Amino acid sequence: MRLLSFIVDGQPSFGIGVEDGVIDLGLRTDSRDLGSCLGAVDELRAFEDAAADHPWETISFDIPIPNQRRLLCAGLNYHKKYPLGGEVKLPKQPVYFNKPPGSLVAHNAPLVRPIASAQLDYEVELAVVIGRSGRHISESDALEHIAGYTILNDGSVRDWQRHGVAAGKNFYHSGSCGPWIVTSDLLSDPSSLSVTTRVNGEQRQHSRVGEMIFSVEELVAYMSQIMPLESGDIIATGSPEGTGGSMEPPVWLSAGDQVEFEVPGIGLLRNGVIDEAI
């Protein structure tokens, strides 16, 4: 299934994406949002054959988990030149940081280049969405705790990233996520997927997920040692070579740019870029 959060007639809801539109689960279940449903994804299959309630052109996308509780990120998880320069040793364990609510926009919504910097960059990532809660999850059991997968752009403001990871990674509306969550029964082997970024039609990033330093299973197991993972938590798995900051000279995102983040098997996350209003 393709599960998404959306806005229709000014009201938020969530549902199942089908060919001709969206089946509105907000009308059919007692759940308040998509995040609260992910622990029992199989129960949503009862609605898969219903008629679409909303044609695609009548809805606008929201980020997949609008009431974001936790977005856990793995940095330096591909073999690549680090965008900030300097020698980087391979990590011995995942490099973990958080992104707070407000840092992401939805599919088709604009990324905001901040007043404070011209160095807005992109990072395409496979994102794992937790369904079944757990703590001290083994690598062998990790995939059983995943409800599905989505696409994440870990938008980064590079000069502020020199101040600290949290500063550069968490600018308002600098990243994006979506367009939906594809359930894990349709993607049984995440290592077989690939991630790609195109800026104004030019391919900038492309890699297989199987080239990550730490696999999806290792990341889930690692994060679950730090905290209990809960339904609706998202784990961003890192980004490969090809960011604007790794180019010589660097090429930053500018107002008017169109950026596409693609994971075949999941879909296409598309965002324009605007300057922050003064």
Q: What is the pLDDT of residue 234?
A: 98
Residue carrying the six token digits 């990790």 = 142
Read off φ and ψ for residue 204, nearest 5 degrees.
-110, -40
pLDDT confidence bin for 81, thresholds 50/70/90 = low
Output the CA–CA distances (angstroms, integers) from residue 224 to 128, 141, 142, 177, 249, in the order listed. 13, 12, 10, 22, 39
Classify residue 221 by burial, with Cβ atoms within 10 Å: 0-12, 13-18, 19+: buried
* Residue of 116, 125, 129 lying closest to 235 (CA atoms): 129
Residue 132, both tokens: 């079944």
| Domain residue extents for the chain | 2-61, 71-275
For residue 89, name the pLDDT band (cuts at 50, 70, 90): confident
- Reported pTM: 0.96
User: Are the CB atoms for 59 and 8 separated by under 8 Å?
Assistant: yes
Asked if the peptide bond before residue 179 counts as cis, ω within 30 degrees of 0, the response is yes
SS3 5: strand
CATH class of domain segment(s) 71-275? alpha beta
pLDDT at residue 86 in the model: 57
C-alpha to C-alpha distance for 73 and 169, rounded to whole angstroms: 10
Signed CA dihedral, 273, 205, 66, 34: sign only: positive
Q: Are 187 and 193 in contact (CB under 8 A)?
A: yes
Per residue in 24-78, pLDDT (tens digit) is 999 999 999 999 999 999 999 999 999 999 999 999 999 999 998 899 999 999 9
Peptide bond into 12 cis (omega under 30): no
pLDDT number for residue 87: 56
Which residues on adjacent β-strands are paired with residue 274? 112
Q: By mean pLDDT, which of 86-100, 122-136, 159-173 is the weakest?
A: 86-100
- Distance in angstroms (rounded) separating the CA atoms of residues 178 and 60: 12
pLDDT more than 70, % of the chain: 97
Mean pLDDT (the chain, rounded):
96
